[in-house]
Chain A
């Protein structure tokens, strides 16, 4: 018999739900502006090679630590590299990591959480223990250990920060699954003989997606911090690749004379973090107006 998925009275009709959410998001001016800035940063990051006036490694020792000028709109660092370009490439580096790592974490964690939440029983028990194992050692320490053991660089940062991020996604997915698994519309689908995979993908996931997307966006600032932190310690992105954290580290010694060298990357981090944070908040409020 063909599975006729009943119109879920408890689940939301996809298009109207997302429409309503978008409408709510739009009305929140802070979220709207933040979202726009976040998208802008992503665009800059993606188009770095096209936008940046200079390469990130292009040195010009004769123009070391220069003040802003028409040639170098935001000045240069101690090796004569153009600050504006480095900031732009820094965006590329930071965004690759900040988006890549949570993405990896999601790819790893979501299936685990979904399966564990759906199946329950011993699988769930062990999953919960796994959660505990990976929570006992904080993400940063774990990532540090991995970096120390296996080396660093953009790719490795994505890998390590991603692997250590799976727990958050898994936990969330599991919680969503558990709460939705027992809802009436799922019971109805099961009683009609709808195959499990179909129930999960067509009925459950769209409803669970909201909080997961919000969580994802909220992970971005944290990842920016972590990546910048490792670079700050010299354990992150390697020279001459530009990264905001590392730029701060480099610029530290020049603060008294040429504060811009350190302040520019600081400003970039702040803007990126705030825009994604507020956008995340806006998303959360838009997707579930009852949560304040």
Chain B
């Protein structure tokens, strides 16, 4: 099991490197650079100075290696747009915001989603099932999250004035973004949970459990839910890194100064160090979640114990 993990880890590391190379190459493949300001064209020597300062006059592969070397020393560089800060500093300021919103979103979306899905399945074909599946699930997938956010702002902030329209300063600021962000994953989770639970409800071993006189409560928790929730790991797992790195749309709609908004501005301004750092974060997060969900699966499902894995 350990050797499997090490293997996986190494291969993911390699893939991450390829990703950074890809993005690096992409950015440099486009004519023009971060300092091409059409409004204030810089004189040639000033331009040359800046290019030299940021090492942009060196061949690409050299620049990449420079970056990699610095990275291994924990130095992510200096953002072009805000030379007084470091990339690391910038991220340290922005990420917590995204994490708070993302973290709460995950909890809300997954917990509520699972609960709704279970209730739907266990009360299959009743009005409750119908309500939850059609109304709630449908509402969740009908509109993109930024449009929902948009509408929420209009109703609760503009018309009712109960909540702020955006920005980040007080605890109340999380409420609307979380609602908007969580709706879709919640609906998706509810749907999958319901399907999975329904499938298990009619399984033979559930019937046999009942035939041995076990109580409905025990059947529900130990026989139905315990097995139905396993496949959810594969569904919910991959979404977690996405949610934790923020949605560029949500952060734009609610004016949240998080990672997502930085990604947008960095891309538009060709802020190479910042972009690379952000991509790296996303990749690392994704790789981690991937391995963690593999592990989680083996813990939760006895049929998938890795010691039995003969590749």
A-to-B contact residues, CB < 8 Å? 129, 132-133, 135-138, 140-141, 144-150, 221, 224-225, 228-229, 232-233, 248, 252, 255-256, 262, 266, 269-270, 273-274, 277, 292
Contacts and interface: CB of A to CB of B under 8 A. Distances in A.
B115 interface: no
Contact of B141 (A140, A148, A149, A277): A277
Majority DSSP secondary structure for residues of A touching B: helix
Contacts of B283: 136-137
Nearest to A234: B252
20 contacts: A133-B18, A133-B22, A135-B286, A138-B242, A138-B282, A144-B263, A144-B264, A145-B23, A145-B26, A145-B267, A229-B146, A233-B249, A233-B264, A248-B147, A248-B150, A256-B159, A266-B151, A277-B141, A292-B198, A292-B199
Interface in B266-310: 267-268, 270, 275, 279, 282-283, 286-287
Given A255-B154, A266-B150, 12 more contacts: A129-B18, A136-B19, A136-B283, A136-B287, A138-B242, A141-B282, A145-B23, A147-B267, A232-B249, A266-B147, A269-B144, A292-B198
Nearest to B252: A233
Contacts of A145: 23, 26-27, 267, 275
Given A255-B158, A270-B143, A141 B248 contact: yes
A133 B158 contact: no
Interface stretch (B8-16, B56-64, B207-215, B223-231): B8-16
Nearest to B285: A136
Contacts of A228: 144, 147
Nearest to B265: A148
Given A229-B144, A256-B159, A149 B286 contact: no
B248 A144 contact: yes
Interface in B84-113: none
Contacts of A135: 238, 286
Contacts of A140: 248
Contact of B30 (A137, A149, A273): A149
Summarize B's interface: helix, strand, loop or mixed: helix
B15 A132 contact: yes
Contact of A266 (B143, B245, B249): B143
A148 B268 contact: yes
Contacts of B270: 148-149
B249 A274 contact: no
Chain B CB within 10 Å, residue with most, of A148, A150, A274, A292:
A148
Contacts of B15: 129, 132-133, 136
A233 B265 CA distance: 11
B198 A136 contact: no
A260 to B, nearest CB: 13
A141 B26 contact: no
Contact of A274 (B142, B144, B268, B282): B142
B195 interface: yes
Nearest to B184: A225
B220 interface: no
**10 closest pairs, A vs B, by CB?**
A148-B267, A225-B144, A136-B283, A270-B142, A149-B30, A132-B15, A229-B249, A136-B286, A148-B268, A255-B154
Interface in B132-164: 138, 141-144, 146-147, 150-151, 154, 158-159
Nearest to B247: A140
Nearest to A221: B141
A197 to B, nearest CB: 31
* A135, A136, A146 interface centre (most CB from chain B within 10 Å): A136
A130 B158 CA distance: 46
Given A136-B19, A221-B141, A233-B252, A144 B150 contact: no
Contacts of A255: 154, 158
Residue among A146, A221, A233, A262 with max Cβ neighbours from chain B (10 Å)? A233
Contacts of A292: 195, 198-199
Contacts of B267: 144-145, 147-149
A277 B139 CA distance: 12
Given A136-B283, A269-B143, A277-B141, A252 B150 contact: yes
Contact of A129 (B11, B30, B248): B11
Given A141-B248, A255-B158, A136 B264 contact: no
A266 B142 CA distance: 10
Contacts of B287: 136
A228 to B, nearest CB: 6
Nearest to B286: A136
Contact of A141 (B30, B143, B263): B263
Contacts of A141: 248, 263, 279, 282
B175 to A, nearest CB: 20
